[in-house]
């Protein structure tokens, strides 16, 4: 047992105007203005022996190679290993695209490359600032509840799943709140997690935006001080209640949703005390029979355990098509893209056909090289009896519930979109009844593996394996006490 030290740091990571955004293939045009600043916020924790960094960034997507290198750079900058660095992406669809996301013209790729390099540098700086601000701290956690998310896998009359709303379907409404305070009980940082797609600023809005997490953070920080970190949970099949923003100006819906979430965080955090606890029952000492329970200082070590573990999990693809079929698919995709360019089609059509042409190249390459697997990252960080378990995919809320139910820790938050985001991770029962078809253009994004330029779908057993490995990481940390 020892004492906990904590420090927070932040950088603005808003992009230049003229850059394309990551989300919405239907969005036409580039960023015209900054609706709300994008942030990267770092929290560094240490007990004098182990040091971990938790970084929350208003970023939609980063390439696997980029984020692995970034974790290494952060680790070197603050004196820890890459495996002790956790980077969670808010997945806002109004953040800049990265040059690895989809092919584009040279000028746009150059702009995206400069932004990506700046973003990585800013994140390292935020971690360095947090490390420089280390001071004695205590930590505690609690749970709130919010209904801002709704299940989005609606079934049409044809029996096929599409992106809609199912208001009566189960979801995970839990809001995980972690409060890191100095020894006077003043927040160094408040972390909150919730699983919901960050899409209230919709495809008609040509803005950069932190979306509803930014509005929630602002409320939390204005109430308590310190830095607030939003950690995206298992949002793969959850959309904001009311759907994606349709209006050109989506600020009203964004702010309402963010305030609703932030208010729940405020309520939960207000009930968490780190520096005092309820003392023994005491008589008031008057003629009346009055007793009370005074608040007394919390004493003793503030850190009973601090560590992080991560590993790479290799998932299998379903069977690849024959080379002749893959080349025929690619030729069709390339022809569609070239026709769209030749006729001066609208941006959304060019975006979609370009994405599929890129996927066709990846499909042929996988068949020729025999690529049959996909690597993902899973990670667990434990502070005392608080655990964060994460995976580098768009996980479904059911996966989060499974891992939480199996965790040996009193408080476990399960995160997706962490240390990368390489694909969706549907459960076996979420796949089409007849199996995934390479020729099908699915109406629900979590079955459209082409959007991530994966050659084919991952094996339907993948989610079960990932949940088991995440649970094993948590159990491993429990046995190391």
For the stretch 95-131, pLDDT in tens is 999 999 999 999 999 999 999 999 999 999 999 999 9
Q: How far apart are CA 455 and CA 360, in angstroms?
A: 8
Cβ neighbors of 367 (< 8 A, separation 6 or more) are 320, 321, 322, 323, 326, 455
Strands 373-383 and 386-391: antiparallel
Whether the predicted pLDDT of 287 surpasses 80: no
256 phi-psi bin (left φ>0, alpha ψ -120 to 50, beta other): alpha
Q: How far apart are CA 392 and CA 416, in angstroms?
A: 6
Q: Helix, strand or coil for residue 425?
A: strand
Residue with tokens 């955090």: 269
Residue 83 is given by DSSP the state G
User: pTM of the full predicted structure?
Assistant: 0.96
Q: Are 60 and 115 in contact (CB under 8 A)?
A: no
Whether the predicted pLDDT of 457 surpasses 70: yes
Q: Are 337 and 421 in contact (CB under 8 A)?
A: no
Say how many residues make up the chain. 481
Whether the predicted pLDDT of 189 surpasses 90: yes
Q: How far apart are CA 144 and CA 162, in angstroms?
A: 30
CA dist 213 → 22, 89, 218, 439 (Å)? 17, 11, 9, 37
pLDDT at 387: 98
Q: Helix, strand or coil for residue 238?
A: strand
Whether the predicted pLDDT of 50 surpasses 90: yes
pLDDT at 203: 94
What average pLDDT does range 131-154 have in this prediction?
98
CA atoms within 13 A on the CB side of 55: 38
pLDDT-derived band at 286, boundaries 50, 70, 90: low
| Nearest alpha-carbon partner for 421 in 451, 397, 456 | 451
Residue 40 has which token pair? 């990267």
pLDDT at 397: 98
Q: What is the largest CA-CA distance in the chain?
A: 94
CA atoms within 13 A on the CB side of 73: 18
Q: How far apart are CA 221 and CA 404, in angstroms?
A: 28
pLDDT over 90, % of the chain: 92
Residue 32 has which token pair? 């015209």
């Amino acid at each position: 047992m020892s004492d906990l030290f904590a420090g927070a740091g932040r950088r603005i990571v808003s992009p230049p105007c003229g850059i394309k955004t990551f989300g919405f293939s239907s969005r036409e045009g580039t960023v015209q203005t900054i609706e709300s600043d994008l942030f990267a916020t770092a929290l560094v924790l240490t007990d004098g022996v182990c040091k971990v960094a938790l970084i929350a960034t208003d970023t939609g997507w980063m390439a696997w190679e980029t984020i692995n290198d970034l974790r290494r750079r952060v680790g070197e900058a603050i004196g820890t290993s890459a495996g002790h660095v956790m980077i969670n992406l808010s997945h806002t669809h109004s953040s800049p695209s990265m040059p690895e996301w989809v092919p584009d013209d040279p000028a746009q790729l150059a702009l995206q490359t400069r932004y990506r390099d700046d973003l990585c540098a800013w994140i390292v700086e935020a971690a360095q600032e947090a490390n420089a601000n280390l001071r004695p701290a205590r930590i505690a956690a609690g749970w709130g509840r919010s209904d801002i998310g709704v299940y989005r896998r609606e079934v049409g009359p044809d029996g096929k799943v599409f992106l809609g709303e199912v208001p009566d379907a189960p979801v995970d409404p839990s809001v995980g709140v972690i409060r890191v305070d100095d020894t006077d009980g003043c927040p160094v940082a408040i972390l909150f997690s919730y699983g919901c797609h960050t899409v209230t600023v919709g495809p008609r809005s040509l803005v950069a935006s932190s979306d509803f997490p930014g509005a929630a953070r602002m409320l939390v920080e204005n109430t308590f001080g310190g830095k607030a970190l939003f950690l995206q949970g298992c949002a793969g099949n959850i959309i904001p209640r009311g759907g994606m923003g349709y209006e050109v100006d989506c600020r009203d819906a964004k702010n309402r949703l963010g305030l609703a979430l932030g208010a729940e965080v405020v309520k939960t955090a207000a009930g968490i005390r780190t520096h005092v606890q309820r003392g023994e029952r005491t008589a008031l000492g008057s003629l009346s029979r009055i007793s009370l329970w005074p608040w007394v200082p919390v004493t003793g070590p503030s850190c009973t355990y601090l560590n992080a573990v991560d590993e790479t999990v290799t998932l299998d693809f379903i069977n690849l098509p024959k080379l002749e079929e893959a080349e025929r698919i690619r030729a069709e995709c390339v022809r569609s893209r070239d026709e769209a360019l030749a006729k001066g089609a609208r941006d959304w059509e060019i975006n979609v056909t370009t994405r599929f042409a890129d996927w066709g190249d990846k499909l042929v390459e996988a068949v020729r090289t025999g690529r049959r697997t996909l690597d993902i990252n899973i990670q667990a960080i434990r502070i005392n009896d608080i655990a964060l378990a994460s995976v580098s995919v768009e996980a479904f809320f059911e996966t989060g519930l499974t891992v939480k139910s199996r965790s040996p820790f009193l408080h476990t938050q399960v995160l997706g979109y962490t240390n990368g985001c390489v694909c969706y991770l549907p459960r076996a029962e979420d796949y089409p009844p007849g199996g995934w078809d390479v020729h099908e253009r699915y109406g629900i994004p979590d079955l459209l593996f082409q959007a991530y330029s994966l050659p084919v779908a991952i094996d339907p057993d993948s989610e079960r394996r990932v949940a088991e490995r995440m649970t094993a990481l948590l159990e491993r940390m429990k046995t190391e006490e």
